[in-house]
Amino acid sequence: MDSKAGVRADYYKSLKRNIFIAVVIVSFIPLLIFGGIIRYVFQTSYTDRVRAHLATMVKKHALEIDTFLTERQANIVSLACAYTYEQYADNTFLKEVLGRIQNAYGAVITDLGIINENGEQISYAGPFQLEDANYSDSEWFRHAISSDIYTSDVFMGLRGQPHFIVAVRSYENGKPWLFRATIDFRAFNDLVQSIHMGETGFAFIINRDGEMQTDFSPRMEADVNRYSKIFTQTITDSPALLSDEPLFDSFESGTEKEIIYVAGLLKKGEWALIFQQDHRDAYSNLYQARRVALLTLVLGGISIILMAFWVSRHTAIRIAEADKEKEIMNRQVIQSGHLASIGMLAAGIAHEINNPVAIMVEEAGWIEDLMEDEEFQESENLAEFTRALGQIRKQGLRCRDITHKLLSFARRSDQRIQFFNINDLIREIAELIAQHARYNNVTITLKLNENLPHIEASQTEVEQVLFNLINNAIDAIDKKGGHIRIRTWQDGGMIRFDIQDTGSGIPGSDLEHIFDPFFTTKPVGVGTGLGLSICYGIVKKMDGDIIVESTVGKGSRFEIRLPVPEAEMEPEQDWGVNIY
Amino acid sequence: MSNANLLLVDDETAFLDTMKKRLSKRDFNVKTADSGMAALDILRENGHQTEVVILDVKMPGMDGIETLSEIKRKYPLVEVIMLTGHATVASAIEGMKHGAYDYLMKPCEIDNLVEKVMEASAKKRRHEQKIIEARMKEITQRMA
């Protein structure tokens, strides 16, 4: 029985697990597919948007800076052509020109200088004492003297401050000279540094060699080569970008953050405006959306799991209950079918026996009739004959009584609900079972409360309960004999009866199983283990209760409580008002 | 003159024989039939002589209740005593409904049976007497 119960428990466990898994899968798959699609679409569109936004921004600023440079160049070109070499060679004139320019454009142009073909500064106007400086060794001079217009990279130069110059070449008597203007680095720097986005987005300019053309920012990579690599890569990978489309690049920096770079080319590809921002910052909304989605997923997942757990548990319990009920019902059906067939058998036997008995009785009667004739009256054994025949007749009639009892028992195996007195039933059964009890040295006493109301139930079923309980009580009592007491009484709306024996009692470990189907302590073939489970089923079906108390060595007591049917309830003694 | 003319119906011939002997000894004129059909045949032959039919309820073929209805339909004045194997109220009531005079549990004491038979035949004779009187009254009234 235990292994069977174990198999059953395993079955419900696996059923529970399967339901759980099914519910979780069915709930999670759509959630994950849906979430995945939404995430993909959202991420793609959002990424595109951010890239487009950054590209536009960089493009705009690159254009702006380029325009700034071009304008300054144009200013300086027009200045260079405005006057002659002789006029510019005059320091005072040059100062006057510088003053005019600074009035017109602000302090963007810091100073002016005229340099002859040998790199000697002929005249100078500006805040530094650079008259007579010689630039013949400067790199910018060599570039400038060989081209019409030259804009240098930013360099420290003689003055020891970052600056860059625009130089215009002109010819005087076939000899080249340069008109040089210094562009204020600060003004230019501010223009670039005004570009920033979010918390980490900023911009700077580098030249082809990776040298900074604007102030170094603390957020920048320590290794400047990395930027130059981006730059050169930009140009070699996609020369088309020399036009104006910005270029993207991103990589993991040493500090595990992904950083995006957007590069726009300036100054005909000599410089690049690079915008740098942490990926996390640029896509902060995306990250936030991701966090929200993840949180939702986690919460949803938890609730799905909880629900799946609850549903699977609940379903398994319900199925187990239904199975148990079904099993008990099946057994009751089998049992009642069994009883019905026993009943039919008994009825058949009763009929078949009845006829021969009747014939025997009649034959005996016929002999008695004949004995009344004269010639027999003299017989010496007359008294003995008469006694024997009387006995035959008497025993025949006894047989008839037995068969009639058998028949009336057989007829009763039905499920119809009737009103009947429990005391009568108990008396009848006690009488029937008394013989069996006597063989086992068991005495049965009844303590019945005669004022009990009728109960409404199937008499056969209550009979079955009583039979089972009394038989169990007899079985619990060993050969030395014992005592069974059956009581009935009423307690509120319940009719109660109990069967108390002085048998062996039930150990505590068995006590919780005694109503389980197929639980038996009797040897194989003696008990089916169904009796008490059927009793339990019957009593529960009648909205009743069955209680067991047992002490090992002292005996057991089974108490049954059945509700008093409403029709039998005492009506309220209320003479004052009758409301119908 | 016998006490009464009886017809004993039972499928057990051994029972029939013994009962016939016992009842004949008590001055009854007894005929026997071993089935419902045979009983009806005998009644057809000497219908109005038979006063009381003793009928077993459980018989193969035409059973006691069917035979009873048939007898009561054709010979309403004949009284029937049912012999039943199981003394249930239900079968007794059914027999009474179909016009049986009384029922007895089988096997029964011969004295009980004789008593019932005497009552039944007396009742039958009373009935017949009343019918004759009624007829005579009718005739006399018509004559008057």
The per-residue pLDDT for A573 is 40
The per-residue pLDDT for A252 is 52
Output phi, psi for A573, to 5 deg: -80, 85
A5: closest CA of chain B, how far (Å): 47
Mean pLDDT of A28-53: 88
Percent share of chain A, pLDDT over 90:
8
Residues A296 and A253 in one domain: no
Give chain A's mean pLDDT.
79
Measured between beta carbons, the chain A residues lying within 8 angstroms of B19 are 362
Residue B33 structural domain: 4-143
The per-residue pLDDT for B107 is 79
Mean pLDDT of A516-545: 74
The per-residue pLDDT for A242 is 43
Burial class (CB in 10 A: 0-12, 13-18, 19+), A34: exposed
Measured between CA atoms, the residue of chain A closest to residue B56 is A355
Question: With 70 as the cut, is the pLDDT of residue B88 above it?
Answer: no
Measured between CA atoms, the residue of chain A closest to residue B23 is A366
The per-residue pLDDT for A371 is 84
Q: Is residue A520 part of a domain?
A: yes
The neighbour count for residue A207, using CB atoms within 10 Å, is 18
The neighbour count for residue A352, using CB atoms within 10 Å, is 12
The per-residue pLDDT for A302 is 92
Mean pLDDT of A198-220: 74
Q: Which of A100-109, A251-260, A426-435 has the lowest mean pLDDT?
A: A251-260
Q: Which of A7-16, A55-64, A212-221, A354-363 has the lowest mean pLDDT?
A: A212-221
Residues A198 and A303 in one domain: no
Residues 6 or more apart whose CB falls under 8 angstroms from that of A439 comprise none
Q: Is residue A84 part of a domain?
A: yes
Mean pLDDT of A313-325: 89
Q: Is residue A12 part of a domain?
A: no
Q: With contact defined as beta carbons under 8 Å apart, do B2 and B91 qualify?
A: no
Residues 50-79 of B with CB under 8 A from A: 58
Name residue A418's beta-bridge partners. Answer: A457
B14: closest CA of chain A, how far (Å): 7
Output the domain CATH number for residue B83: 3.40.50.2300
Residues 89-118 of B with CB under 8 A from A: 105-107, 110
Interchain CB distance below 8 Å, A350 and B22: no
Q: How far apart are CA A117 and CA A468, in angstroms?
A: 132
B71: closest CA of chain A, how far (Å): 24
Q: Which of A151-155, A403-407, A560-564, B78-82 has the lowest mean pLDDT?
A: A403-407
Name residue A274's beta-bridge partners. Answer: A204, A263
Closest residue to B107, CB basis, from A358, A366, A408: A358
Q: Is residue A433 part of a domain?
A: yes
Q: Is any Cβ of chain B less than 8 angstroms from the Cβ of A402?
A: no
Residues A275 and A292 in one domain: no
Q: How far apart are CA A187 and CA A39, in angstroms?
A: 44
Q: Is any Cβ of chain B less than 8 angstroms from the Cβ of A398?
A: no
SS3 A426: helix
Question: With 70 as the cut, is the pLDDT of residue A154 above it?
Answer: yes
Residues A294 and A273 in one domain: no
Measured between CA atoms, the residue of chain A closest to residue B107 is A358
Question: With 70 as the cut, is the pLDDT of residue A575 above it?
Answer: no
Select from B9, B32, B86, B91 the residue whose CB has the most chain A CBs within 10 Å, as the one to mutate to test that interface: B86
Q: With contact defined as beta carbons under 8 Å apart, do B23 and B46 qualify?
A: no
Measured between CA atoms, the residue of chain A closest to residue B19 is A362
Measured between CA atoms, the residue of chain A closest to residue B15 is A359
Q: Is residue A10 part of a domain?
A: no
Interchain CB distance below 8 Å, A355 and B12: yes
Q: Is residue A579 part of a domain?
A: no
Interchain CB distance below 8 Å, A407 and B86: yes
Closest residue to A366, CB basis, from B18, B58, B107: B18
Select from B28, B63, B83, B106 the residue whose CB has the most chain A CBs within 10 Å, as the one to mutate to test that interface: B106
Give the confidence band of A576 by pLDDT, cuts at 50, 70, 90: very low
Mean pLDDT of A289-295: 88
Q: Is any Cβ of chain A less than 8 angstroms from the Cβ of B142?
A: no
The per-residue pLDDT for A240 is 44
More confident residue, A106 or A307: A307
Give the confidence band of A232 by pLDDT, cuts at 50, 70, 90: low
Closest residue to A365, CB basis, from B14, B22, B106: B22
b (16+ CB within 10 A) / e for B56-72: bbbbeebbbbebbebbb
Structure tokens at A445: 């006493």
Q: Is any Cβ of chain A less than 8 angstroms from the Cβ of B127?
A: no
Residues A74 and A209 in one domain: no
Residues A272 and A291 in one domain: no
Measured between beta carbons, the chain B residues lying within 8 angstroms of A360 are 107
Q: Is residue A44 part of a domain?
A: yes
Measured between CA atoms, the residue of chain B closest to residue A404 is B86
Q: With contact defined as beta carbons under 8 Å apart, do A550 and A495 qualify?
A: no
- For residue A497, which of A530, A463, A528 has the smallest C-alpha distance? A463
Q: Chain centroid to CA A331: how far? A: 40
Residues A365 and A260 in one domain: no
Question: With 90 as the cut, is the pLDDT of residue A486 above it?
Answer: yes
The per-residue pLDDT for A370 is 86
More confident residue, B106 or B16: B16
Residue ending a domain, choose from A183, A201, A231: A183
Residues A357 and A310 in one domain: yes
Mean pLDDT of A426-448: 85
Total structural domains within chain B = 1
The per-residue pLDDT for A570 is 52
Residues A310 and A400 in one domain: yes
Residue A294 structural domain: 286-407
Residue ending a domain, choose from A407, A431, A451: A407
Residues A303 and A450 in one domain: no
Q: How far apart are CA A210 and CA A236, in angstroms?
A: 15
Q: With contact defined as beta carbons under 8 Å apart, do A76 and A181 qualify?
A: yes
Q: Is residue A429 part of a domain?
A: yes
Is the bond preceding residue B107 a cis peptide, omega within 30 degrees? yes
The per-residue pLDDT for A212 is 74
Q: Chain centroid to CA A207: how far? A: 57
B99: closest CA of chain A, how far (Å): 24
Q: With contact defined as beta carbons under 8 Å apart, do A555 and A502 qualify?
A: yes
Residues A352 and A258 in one domain: no
Interchain CB distance below 8 Å, A358 and B12: yes
Residues A541 and A561 in one domain: yes
Measured between CA atoms, the residue of chain A closest to residue B106 is A358
Interchain CB distance below 8 Å, B107 and A396: yes
Burial class (CB in 10 A: 0-12, 13-18, 19+), A350: buried
Output the domain CATH number for residue A52: 3.30.450.20
Interchain CB distance below 8 Å, A369 and B21: yes
Q: How far apart are CA A132 and CA A94, in angstroms?
A: 15
Interchain CB distance below 8 Å, B19 and A362: yes
Give the confidence band of A526 by pLDDT, cuts at 50, 70, 90: low
A362: closest CA of chain B, how far (Å): 6
Select from B9, B11, B15, B91 the residue whose CB has the most chain A CBs within 10 Å, as the one to mutate to test that interface: B15
Measured between beta carbons, the chain B residues lying within 8 angstroms of A396 are 107
Residue ending a domain, choose from A285, A300, A325: A285
Distances, alpha carbon B7 to alpha carbons A170, A360, A462, B99, in Å: 166, 21, 46, 17
The per-residue pLDDT for A381 is 83
Give the confidence band of A216 by pLDDT, cuts at 50, 70, 90: low
Q: Is any Cβ of chain B less than 8 angstroms from the Cβ of A186?
A: no
Q: Which of A30-44, A166-180, A411-425, A486-500 has the lowest mean pLDDT?
A: A411-425
Total structural domains within chain A = 4
